[in-house]
């Protein structure tokens, strides 16, 4: 089989796990002969047993690369970190100058930055590409965020546009920008994903614990939300989760799942990048922290016995009216999560000179990816109208709809605090907004304190220069 396909395959994939295999099948379905390589013979055999004439599996790296058309295009879907570097090192022995390496995993953008420069020096094209959509997206149409070598992108663009999801006839893929831009964008995408998942879990807590609703009632709420302006992939799968029962069981599988959320690190990376850029992303930050807190199960059990619920958990308000307020609150917080993510992209672009187009990013997120939602149409429209828009909350159309939802978020947050229900992401959304819209924050006091104990200086209103005061001398008078 290998010899028959020498120099005939248009695309090569290293890593034949579910994502890699599904993506190869997607490529093959669109008429492109492709090759897959893995050091697991079982995975190679499984690929060949698909009996797809456009797919050819290899367990020898040299035979794999020899089967590719020139310039050879090889995509890696392997775990991020040292494994990527190891595979690239092996590829350098069997690829030629002008060939293309695509890293399609969730690599940290700083690693992609380094690899781009190293491979550029060796005469190879490197593309760091975020891929979103999970297993189903890989098979039927993902959203893809390639960045790095523009020349290489133009070569692989026809294949990527074919296999991507399509919204309004347009593929959910586009060139993000220079060097590590693709993985930076994917990192922010994942940070927004963390935030929205946390918001959904908190709305679940309010309905279950505060409104004393059963699973079928909660299912109906999510179903209703997903049929309106909150329509999104994450609400769609949440709706499904609230109906799923294992065969032979009469309770939801959800009720048997432990409340300890795992994470692969991309949300943390988003928070770290935001802090490095001195940019607030509190909803993303708290979403990461709450996953960490959820893992402290034993401590939480101990604390629950020391600090039991002492407030009346049943909300007294009309349930139907309150659910309308909760829907408004969710919309408000969701908009804020997207806004914080888009602001991070704006700031990252300023710092790293990626040449990002925020409207294009919103456009390709509308389909195929995990954070696809109806609201992304509004984000796309905002940045398409004003490509230099610094912050989504400054867009007039967004501001108009957001303002209508303010009473809902204020009611939900204050009631949750009163009833002892933890909704840190909702709270963070509201606090961020209230400070963002504040012409004057109380941080002048922080500056005075910093100068008092550390001589860190301060600036004065309406007066040029930097100042320091000997505060202790005056306080003695």
Report the candidate in 221, 224, 200 with the shortest Cα–Cα distance to residue 211.
221
Q: Could you say which of 186, 209, 325, 363 is catalytic?
A: 186
Does the annotation count 193 as an active-site position? Answer: yes
Within 8 A by CB and 6+ apart from 260, the residues are 294, 295, 297
Q: Which of 113, 193, 202, 327 is catalytic?
A: 193
Backbone φ and ψ for 274, nearest 5 degrees, come out as -60, -40
Q: Tell me, rounded to whole angstroms, the distance of Cα 462 from its chain centroid.
A: 41
Q: Return d(Cα 88, Cα 82) in angstroms, integer.
A: 10
Q: Residues annotated in the binding site, as ranges?
A: 106, 132-134, 189-190, 194, 264, 291, 450, 456
Angle between helices 181-205 and 266-276 (to 10 degrees): 110
Distances (CA, A) of 8 to 28, 68, 288: 13, 6, 45
Distance CA 102, CA 100 (A): 7
Q: How far apart are CA 239 and CA 229, in angstroms?
A: 15
Q: In terms of C-beta density within 10 A (0-12 exposed, 13-18 middle, 19 or more buried), how is residue 304 classed?
A: exposed
Binding-site residues for substrate, in ranges, read 106, 132-134, 189-190, 194, 264, 291, 450, 456
Q: Which residues are catalytic?
A: 186, 193
């Amino acid at each position: 089989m290998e010899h028959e396909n020498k120099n005939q395959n248009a695309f090569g994939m290293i890593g034949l796990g579910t994502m890699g295999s599904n993506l190869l099948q997607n490529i093959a379905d669109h008429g492109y002969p492709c090759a897959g390589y893995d050091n697991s013979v079982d995975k190679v055999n499984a690929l060949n047993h698909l009996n797809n004439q456009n797919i050819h599996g290899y367990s020898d790296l040299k035979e794999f690369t020899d089967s590719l058309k020139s310039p050879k295009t090889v995509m890696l879907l392997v775990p991020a970190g040292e494994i990527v570097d190891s595979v690239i090192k092996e590829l350098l022995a069997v690829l030629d100058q002008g060939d293309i390496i695509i890293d399609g995993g969730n690599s940290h953008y700083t690693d992609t930055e380094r690899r781009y420069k190293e491979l550029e020096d060796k005469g190879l094209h490197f593309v760091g590409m975020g891929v979103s959509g999970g297993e189903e997206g890989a098979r039927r149409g993902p959203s893809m965020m390639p960045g790095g070598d523009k020349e290489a992108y133009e070569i692989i663009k026809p294949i990527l546009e074919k296999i991507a999801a399509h919204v309004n006839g347009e593929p959910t893929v586009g060139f993000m920008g220079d060097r590590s831009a693709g993985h930076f964008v994917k990192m922010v995408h994942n940070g927004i994903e963390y935030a929205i998942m946390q918001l959904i879990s908190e709305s679940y807590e309010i309905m279950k614990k505060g409104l004393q609703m059963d699973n079928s009632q909660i299912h109906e709420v999510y179903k209703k939300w997903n049929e309106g302006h909150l329509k999104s992939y994450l609400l769609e799968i949440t709706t499904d989760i609230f109906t799923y029962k294992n065969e032979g069981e009469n309770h939801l599988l959800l009720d048997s799942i432990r409340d300890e959320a795992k994470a692969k690190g991309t949300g943390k990376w988003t928070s770290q990048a935001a802090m490095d850029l001195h940019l607030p992303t509190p909803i993303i930050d708290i979403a990461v922290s709450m996953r960490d807190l959820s893992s402290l199960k034993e401590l939480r059990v101990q604390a629950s016995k020391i600090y039991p619920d002492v407030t009346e958990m049943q909300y007294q308000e009309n349930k139907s009216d309150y659910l309308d307020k909760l829907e408004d609150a969710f919309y408000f917080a969701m908009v804020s999560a997207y806004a914080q993510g888009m602001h991070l992209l704006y700031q990252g672009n300023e710092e790293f000179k990626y040449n990002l187009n925020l409207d294009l990013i919103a456009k390709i997120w509308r389909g195929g990816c995990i954070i696809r939602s109806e609201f992304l149409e509004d984000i796309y429209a905002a940045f398409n109208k004003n490509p230099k828009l610094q912050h989504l909350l400054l867009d007039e159309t967004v501001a108009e709809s957001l303002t209508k939802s303010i009473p809902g978020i204020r009611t939900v947050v204050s009631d949750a605090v009163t009833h002892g229900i933890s909704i840190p992401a909702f709270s963070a959304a509201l606090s961020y907004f209230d400070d963002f819209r504040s012409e004057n924050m109380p941080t002048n006091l922080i500056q005075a304190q910093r100068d008092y104990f550390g001589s860190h200086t301060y600036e004065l209103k309406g007066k040029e220069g930097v100042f320091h005061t000997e505060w202790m001398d005056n306080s003695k008078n």
